[in-house]
Structure 1
Amino acid sequence: MIKISYDINVYRDILNDTLKTTDTIVELGCHVGKSTELIANKVINGKIISIDNSPEAIDAMGNLSEEYDNLHFISGDVRIHNVLEEAVKLVSSCDVLSIDLGGGYHPDTVFKVYYIWSSALRPRDTIIRNRGLIDFVRSSKTYEEIESDNGWLKSCYGQGIPPQIKEFSLWTDKLNNK
């Protein structure tokens, strides 16, 4: 199932309701770990991979990684293909993919990140925090019935790690320097 929210408290409630104690979680956009701590307290017998590229995340997530043995932090940009490859070396799949890349901005980036990561990891559930995606879903209508009961899209099944999306390098010079 794919669940989308904008309010951080709703997002965390959905996380809490979705997580199981033995789940493998990949969290994209952990920042300083407020949601990560909620995840770690619930997923006591599972594995957590948390990723963020903000400088503020490094010390905070380093401290959380010391506190929780099942937490592995990767300092990196989730739009960079090597970061996905690093995560896949740690977990070949996940139960829950948690995506919070700023909440309200750039739904196109969030969707592309979701598509790449969910294609590679095929999660049971995906939880996304992004206002733009909610606005798009709530404003759209379709007469076709195409749906997936999983946290990934059936149209991308069996592809493994998808190739790097070339558009990422067009959006920011920062990505060209990596």
Structure 2
Amino acid sequence: MINISYDIKEYRKQLFDIVNDGNVIVELGCHVGNTTKLILDKFDNVKIIAIDNSPEAVGKMEKLADDYSNLTFISGDVRRHEILLEAFRLTQSCDILSVDLGGGYHPDTVFKVFYIWSSTFKPVHSIIRNKGLVDFCNSAVVGCEDFKSHEGHLESYIDEGIPPQIKEFELWTPSLREK
């Protein structure tokens, strides 16, 4: 299932509805860890890999990672290949992909990040916080094409990898699995 919301309260509600103990969560855009801490406090047995590139995140997220052994923080830009690879070395799949890049980023960037990370990790659930995507979904009329994914990634693209024209990344997802 792929959930899209904008309001932070709705985003967190949707997230808490899908998280279960034992889940592996990859959180893109954790900022200073407010949502991360809520998850860690509510669920005893989750593993979170949280990533953010904002300077405000570093100190607070490193302290949070010191306090919780089931949290790994990566300081970096989720659009960069080496950050994707670093996260992939920690876990090669996840139950939940959480994408909150401030909610106000342009939907094309957020969708690209979602597509690349979900193609790599094949999550069962994804949750995306972005105003532009909510606006798009609420304004769109779907034609007769019958594409629908029941997982947290786009199943119609399951193993096609990352298009080479996406300049931020230099790999295709199947090549990650060969290393």
Whether the 8 Å contact between 1:20 and 1:43 is mirrored in structure 2 is: yes
Deviations 1:127-173 (A, max 9, x none): 000010011111111222210000000122134676582168xxxxx
Superposition deviation, residue 45 in structure 1: 1.5
Code of the residue aligned with 1:142 in structure 2: it is V
| Residues in 1 aligned to 2:157 and 2:46: alpha-carbon distance in whole angstroms | 26
| Residues in 2 aligned to 1:68 and 1:62: alpha-carbon distance in whole angstroms | 10
Superposition deviation, residue 17 in structure 1: 1.1
The 3-state SS of whatever aligns with 1:109 is helix
| Residues in 1 aligned to 2:43 and 2:149: alpha-carbon distance in whole angstroms | 25
Deviations 1:101-145 (A, max 9, x none): 010221000000000000000000000000100111111112222
| Residues in 2 aligned to 1:82 and 1:156: alpha-carbon distance in whole angstroms | 23
**Structure 1: stretches of 5+ with no match in the other structure:** 169-178
The 3-state SS of whatever aligns with 1:145 is coil
| Residues in 1 aligned to 2:153 and 2:42: alpha-carbon distance in whole angstroms | 23
Aligned to 1:3: 3
The 3-state SS of whatever aligns with 1:60 is helix
Q: TM-score, normalised by structure 2?
A: 0.89
Structure 1 segment 19-168 matched on structure 2, within 5 A: 19-143=19-143, 144-159=145-160, 165-166=166-167
The 3-state SS of whatever aligns with 1:65 is helix
Q: TM-score, normalised by structure 1?
A: 0.89
The 3-state SS of whatever aligns with 1:88 is helix
Code of the residue aligned with 1:42 in structure 2: it is K
| Residues in 2 aligned to 1:62 and 1:112: alpha-carbon distance in whole angstroms | 27
The 3-state SS of whatever aligns with 1:120 is helix
Whether the 8 Å contact between 1:23 and 1:43 is mirrored in structure 2 is: no
CA RMSD of aligned residues (A): 1.6
Task: Indicate the percent of aligned positions where both proteins have the same amino acid.
Answer: 60
Superposition deviation, residue 42 in structure 1: 3.2
Code of the residue aligned with 2:127 in structure 1: it is I
1:23/1:161 CA distance change after superposition, 3 Å: farther
Code of the residue aligned with 1:147 in structure 2: it is K
1:90/1:162 CA distance change after superposition, 3 Å: farther
Whether the 8 Å contact between 1:19 and 1:42 is mirrored in structure 2 is: no
| Residues in 2 aligned to 1:92 and 1:162: alpha-carbon distance in whole angstroms | 20
